[in-house]
């Protein structure tokens, strides 16, 4: 068990969260190494029936220690910026297993990735294909590519994280993809190796993945007929997790579905999961600063806020709130758990039954993905510390920012 109660106290692996709070302060993101590893193994094992490579989507949680844990497991990495590539290399990730996604790759990022010798560029437009060919030619190398196809399926998720509909900015449609493949196949500085899609995030049903796959396979076969054989098919990320009561997608059923439709095609399956590998491996540990009541509504004001964890404010996301010390049911009330930021949208949770006194500790669940990485310094709040727990070991994997970090690189006017 990664996060669990023992004698009424909440633990991360073998470490009481109260100890982390008293040694390192709050707000703090706490990650469990074994939880990341278990999620990785589960998905990796499910796809073991076929050649496959899982490329962790770095944007979900890009802490060097998290990347290190996954790199040691044999992970590849799906990056969307030069900054993410630099992190992967710094953490010891293998550049050959890096794939580069994103609609707006800049020349410096393309050059950096070509220089590092990454495994594949997921190309999202004609303009990008031309730019990539130019840069690879100029640098005397060839760029391995796949085209990101937008299969026009509705993943049934929040509109902000739905990316596979034809009106989205991502990828190209299947006809345009075929034209781009023909161009790329004839270009000496490009090497066609794969086909890519990514339809959205927090998907709890296999059907959209199946729809997407069935729209991609005719293109795979067409390319084969045109002597443009592919070596891999990248199905993207997007596997959902349970925040409240969502069904989770069974990786074994997912793998079986893919296996069935691929049939005899000799393609390596690539996946780009982010959230499903790290969401449940992290919590946000926060302390109640103030309790107050306004016209019958109870507020627990915590030292964590929307700048630390923006998902509730941005996507109206629901995340669990657990007391770090189990409370007696008799003294409960319904609380809105809010931060101190000057925005009514600054909440972590609404209408939760809790028993609280000031200075109590709370654990906001499933904060390992799209938590710290989306944090900011809004209201001049130093960003939270990040801690990785490995059995009984507590490793500070990012120090809490200091006040002077807040203006690093800034200056007042010259005198
Ligand atoms: C965000 C993203 C992912 C990861 O999505 P998850 O929902 O976290 O699994 C994978 N691929 C691409 C191209 C992305 O933009």
Domains of the chain plus CATH, in order, are 3-31+279-407 (2.40.37.10), 102-271 (3.20.20.10)
Separation between Cα atoms, residue 155 and residue 145, nearest integer Å: 25
Residue 360 near residue 302 (C-beta atoms within 8 A)? no
- For residue 238, report the distance from its CA to the centre of ligand 1, in Å: 6
CB 22 within 8 A of CB 397: no
The reply to whether 42 belongs to the active site is no
> Per the structure block, which two tokens stand in for 72?
């040691």
Contacts of 185 (CB under 8 A, 6+ apart): 192, 226, 227, 228
> 258 CA to middle of ligand 1, Å?
18
Most ligand 1 atoms within 8 A of CB, residue of 168, 202, 238 to mutate: 238
pLDDT number for residue 362: 98
From the alpha carbon of 276, which atom of ligand 1 is closest? 9
Classify residue 244 by burial, with Cβ atoms within 10 Å: 0-12, 13-18, 19+. exposed
Tens-place pLDDT, residues 350-389 = 999 999 999 999 999 999 999 999 999 999 999 999 999 9
Structure tokens at 304: 């964590």
Question: Which pLDDT score, from 0 to 100, does residue 233 have?
Answer: 98
- Please say if the pLDDT value at position 331 is more than 80: no
Phi, psi at 199, each rounded to 5° = -100, -10
Sign of CA dihedral 176, 179, 183, 184: positive
Q: What is the pLDDT of residue 330?
A: 64
The confidence score (pLDDT) of residue 199 equals 93
Q: Is the pLDDT assigned to residue 403 strictly greater than 70?
A: yes
Q: Residue 327 pLDDT more than 80?
A: no
pLDDT of residue 1 exceeding 70, the answer is no
Percent of the chain with pLDDT over 90: 91
Q: Is the pLDDT of residue 216 over 80?
A: yes
Ligand 1 pocket test, candidate residues 195, 198, 251, 279, most atoms within 8 A of CB: 198
Supply the pLDDT for residue 50.
96
What are the tens digits of pLDDT across the range 87-130? 999 999 999 999 999 999 999 999 999 999 999 999 999 999 99
pLDDT digits over 166-191, tens only? 777 788 999 999 999 999 999 999 99
**Residue 39 near residue 31, CB atoms below 8 Å:** no
* CA of residue 408 to ligand 1 center, whole Å: 31
Question: What does the alpha-carbon distance between residue 347 and residue 338 come to, in Å, rounded to a whole number?
Answer: 4
Q: What is the pTM of this model?
A: 0.96
pLDDT of residue 162: 66
Q: What is the model's pLDDT at position 160?
A: 63
How many residues does the structure list for the chain? 415
197 vs 163: CA distance, rounded Å: 9
């Amino acid at each position: 068990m990664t996060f669990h109660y023992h004698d009424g106290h909440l633990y991360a692996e073998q470490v009481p969260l109260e100890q982390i709070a008293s040694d390192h302060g709050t707000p703090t993101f706490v990650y469990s190494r074994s939880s990341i590893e278990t999620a990785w193994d589960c998905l990796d094992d499910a796809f073991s029936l076929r050649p496959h490579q899982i490329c962790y989507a770095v944007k979900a949680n890009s802490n060097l220690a998290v990347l290190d844990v996954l790199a040691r497991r044999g992970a590849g990495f799906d990056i969307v910026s030069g900054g993410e590539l630099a992190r992967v290399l710094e953490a010891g990730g293998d550049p050959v297993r890096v794939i580069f996604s994103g609609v707006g790759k800049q020349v410096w990022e393309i050059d950096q990735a070509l220089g590092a010798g990454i495994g594949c560029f997921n190309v999202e437009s004609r303009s990008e294909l031309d730019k990539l060919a130019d840069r690879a030619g100029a640098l005397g190398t060839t760029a391995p590519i796949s085209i990101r196809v937008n299969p026009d399926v509705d993943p049934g998720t929040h509109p902000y994280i739905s990316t596979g509909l034809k009106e989205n900015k991502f990828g190209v449609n299947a006809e345009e993809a075929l034209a781009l493949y023909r161009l790329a196949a004839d270009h000496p500085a490009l090497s066609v190796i794969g086909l890519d899609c990514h339809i959205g995030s927090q998907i709890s049903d296999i059907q959209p993945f199946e729809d997407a796959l069935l729209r991609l396979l005719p293109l795979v076969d067409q390319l084969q007929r045109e002597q443009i054989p592919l070596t891999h098919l990248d199905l993207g990320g997007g596997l959902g997790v349970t925040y409240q009561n969502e069904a989770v997608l069974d990786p074994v059923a997912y793998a079986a579905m893919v296996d069935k439709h691929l049939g005899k095609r000799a393609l390596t399956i690539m996946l780009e999961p982010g959230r499903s590998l790290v969401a449940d491996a992290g919590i946000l540990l926060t302390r109640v600063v103030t309790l107050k009541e306004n016209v019958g509504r109870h507020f627990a004001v915590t030292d964590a806020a929307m700048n630390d964890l923006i998902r509730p404010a941005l996507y109206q996301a629901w995340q669990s709130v657990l007391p770090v010390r189990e409370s007696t049911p008799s003294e409960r009330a319904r609380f809105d758990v809010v931060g101190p930021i000057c925005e009514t949208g600054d909440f972590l949770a609404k209408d939760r039954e809790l028993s609280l006194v000031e200075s109590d500790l709370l654990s906001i669940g499933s904060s390992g993905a799209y938590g710290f990485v989306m944090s900011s310094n809004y209201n001049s709040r130093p960003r939270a510390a990040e801690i990785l727990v490995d059995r009984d070991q507590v490793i500070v994997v990012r120090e809490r920012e200091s006040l002077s970090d807040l203006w690093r690189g800034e200056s007042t006017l010259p005198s």
